[in-house]
């Protein structure tokens, strides 16, 4: 086979849109061919990444979470010993409902009470009794509880559970009761287990599916990525959390609590072999693209306040410890 001349990127579908925007611009503005960007999930991407070194393995894995130790080990075992970690920014996670519906101002506690399998009422653990938002807190609208949350395959789910449900569990004080009654581990698990009576609907598809579900069930509230919401402001109405409206600015400032970092991992061993690899990485994190004024931010990426550090690390080809 002739030597591969285009960069191969794979991984998270959350990072995919940003990667394609960069790849497209990279192809247009340089003499290198446009990188091929696959989607398939962080897991599959990292797995391919750790398959080994050489032309028929990929160069970059996109991930919506940091690489795990077990994955680093697998990488190492396959000879992928030098990995550069690049954090490109943050993905904001927002709650949105049909544009014609009620306005919502949530707290994490509301979400816990609405979706947890068990809640604490009068100091006792009971199966979640709430059917309407107004039952949870009087100033919430009188509307059926129906939430479309990311399925367990999505990284977003983890963030949702940790930063919303678990936080709500703490906030309501349910966490204490759970740990007291069930012990440390089970108590924590009880905090994060969602009700299964159809009020909380898992979505294994993508945000377009969540949107379609909201359109066919207008009293539903969905969990979306910020960028998805920003592209569909004509159909969706976003809810505040703790009084903060999500936006790239509020998230970057740390005011809006629910977000997660996005990464990509570069196989340093391929730099020099695959033409344009280093250039692509540098191009990606350059201020013109990943900065707050760049197209990525315009699309909805919360740009990283520490972008400069990342740029230096990339220039130095700094690898992560394995």
Partner 1 sequence: MPVSWTILIVLALSGLGYLATRSRAVRLAGGDIRKLHSRPSYYGWNAALLIGVPALFVTAIWRFLWPATSPALISAVALILAAAGLAFALTRTAPDFRARNAVETTVKALLMLCSSIAILTTAGIVLSMLFETGHFFQQYSWTEFFFGTTWSPRFGGGSDLGILPLLWGTLYISVIALAVSVPIGLFAAIYMSEYASGRMRSIAKPMIEVLAGIPTIVYGLFALITVGPMLRDWFAQPLGLGSSGSSVMTAGLVMGIMLIPFVSSLSDDIINAVPQSLRDGALGLGSTRSETIRKVVLPAALPGIVGAILLAASRAIGETMIVVMGAGAAAQMGLNPFEAMTTITVKIVSQLTGDTDFAAPETLVAFALGLTLFTITLGLNIVALYVVRKYREQYE
Partner 2 sequence: MTDATLPGPAVPPGKSSLLTLDARTRKRNAAEARFRAYGLGAIAIAVVMLLILLFTIVTGGIGAFRQTYLEIPVTLDAAQLDKKGNRDPEDIKKVLTLTYGKLLDQSLQAVIAEKGIVVADLSGKDIKDLISKEAAAQLRARVLADPGLIGQTVPARVLVNGRVDGYYKGRVSMESAARDANTSPQQLQLADALRAQGMLDTVWNWSFLTSPDASDQRPEAAGVGIAILGSLYMMLVVLFLSVPIGVGASIYLEEFAPKNRWTDIIEVNISNLAAVPSIVFGILGLAAFINFAGLPQSAPIVGGLVLTLMTLPTIIIATRAALKAVPPSIRDAALGVGASRMQSVFHHVLPLALPGILTGTIIGLAQALGETAPLLLIGMVAFVKNFPAAPPEGLFDPASALPVQVFNWTQRADPAFIERASGAIIVLLVFLLCMNLVAIFLRRKFERRW
Question: Which CB, 72 or 278, lies closer to partner 1?
Answer: 72
Size of the site for partner 1 (CB under 8 A): 46
Residue 33 touching partner 2 (CB under 8 A): yes
**Among 85-93, 101-109, 176-184, 232-240, which window interacts with partner 2 (CB under 8 A)?**
232-240
What are the structure tokens assigned to 35, written together? 């990188």
Contact 282, 314 (CB under 8 A): yes
Question: Which CB, 117 or 318, lies closer to partner 1?
Answer: 117
Distance CA 27, CA 6 (A): 10
**Among 94-102, 129-137, 147-155, 293-301, which window interacts with partner 1 (CB under 8 A)?**
147-155
From candidates 10, 42, 248, 250, binder to partner 1 by CB under 8 A: 42
Residue 55 touching partner 2 (CB under 8 A): yes
Q: Is 198 exposed, middle or buried (0-12, 13-18, 19+ CB in 10 A)?
A: exposed
CA–CA distances in Å: residue 262 to residues 37, 64, 144: 16, 5, 34
Contact 93, 258 (CB under 8 A): yes
Phi, psi dihedrals of residue 124, rounded to the nearest 5°: -110, 145
Q: State the pairing for strand pair 83-98/259-267.
A: antiparallel
Residue 44 touching partner 2 (CB under 8 A): yes
Question: Which CB, 20 or 179, lies closer to partner 2?
Answer: 20
What distance separates the 2 farthest-apart alpha carbons in the chain? 71
Residue 198 touching partner 1 (CB under 8 A): yes
Q: Which does 125 bind (CB under 5 to 8 A by kind): partner 2, partner 1, none?
A: none
Q: CB neighbours (10 Å) of residue 254?
A: 10
Distance CA 234, CA 246 (A): 16
**Among 40-48, 79-87, 118-126, 169-177, which window interacts with partner 1 (CB under 8 A)?**
40-48
Q: CB neighbours (10 Å) of residue 54?
A: 12
What are the structure tokens assigned to 114, written together? 């609405």
Residue 70 touching partner 1 (CB under 8 A): yes
Residue 25 touching partner 2 (CB under 8 A): yes
* Helices 277-285 and 307-316, axial angle in degrees (round to 10): 170
By CB under 8 A, name the binding residues for partner 2.
1, 4, 6, 8, 10, 13, 16-17, 19-21, 23-25, 27-29, 31, 33-34, 36-40, 44, 48, 51, 55-56, 58, 99, 206-208, 225, 227-228, 230-235, 288, 295, 298-300
By CB under 8 A, name the binding residues for partner 1.
1-2, 12-14, 40-44, 46-47, 50, 63-65, 68, 70-71, 73-74, 151-155, 157-158, 161, 185, 189, 192-193, 196, 198, 201-205, 209, 212-213, 215-217
């Amino acid at each position: 086979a002739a030597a591969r001349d285009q960069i191969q990127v794979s991984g998270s579908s959350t990072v995919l849109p940003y990667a394609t925007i960069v790849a497209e611009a990279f192809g247009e503005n340089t003499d290198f061919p446009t990188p091929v960007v696959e989607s398939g999930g962080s897991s599959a991407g990292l797995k391919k990444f750790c398959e080994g070194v050489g032309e028929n393995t990929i160069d970059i894995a996109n991930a919506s979470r940091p690489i795990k130790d077990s994955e680093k080990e697998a990488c190492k075992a396959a000879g992928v010993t030098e990995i550069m970690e690049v954090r490109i920014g943050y993905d904001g996670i927002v709650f949105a409902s049909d544009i014609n519906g009620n306005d919502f101002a949530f707290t994490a506690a509301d979400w816990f009470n609405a979706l947890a399998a068990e809640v604490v009422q009068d100091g006792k653990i009971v199966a979640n009794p709430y059917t309407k938002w107004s039952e949870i807190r009087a100033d919430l609208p009188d509307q059926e509880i129906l939430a479309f949350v990311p399925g367990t395959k999505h990284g977003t789910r983890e963030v949702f559970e940790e930063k919303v449900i678990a936080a709500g569990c703490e906030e309501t004080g349910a966490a204490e009761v759970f740990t007291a009654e069930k012990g440390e581990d089970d108590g924590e698990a009880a905090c994060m287990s969602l009700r299964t009576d159809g009020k909380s609907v898992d979505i294994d598809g993508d945000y377009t599916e969540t949107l379609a579900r909201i359109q066919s069930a207008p009293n539903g509230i969905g969990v979306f990525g910020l960028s998805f919401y920003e592209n569909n402001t004509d159909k969706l109405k976003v809810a505040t959390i703790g009084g903060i409206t999500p936006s790239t600015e509020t998230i970057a400032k740390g005011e809006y609590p629910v977000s997660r970092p996005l990464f990509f991992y570069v196989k340093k061993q391929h730099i020099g072999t695959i033409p344009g690899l280093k250039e692509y990485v540098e191009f990606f994190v350059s201020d013109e693209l990943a900065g707050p004024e760049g197209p990525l931010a315009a699309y909805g990426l919360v740009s990283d306040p520490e972008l400069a550090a990342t740029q230096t690390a990339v220039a130095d080809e700094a690898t992560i410890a394995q």
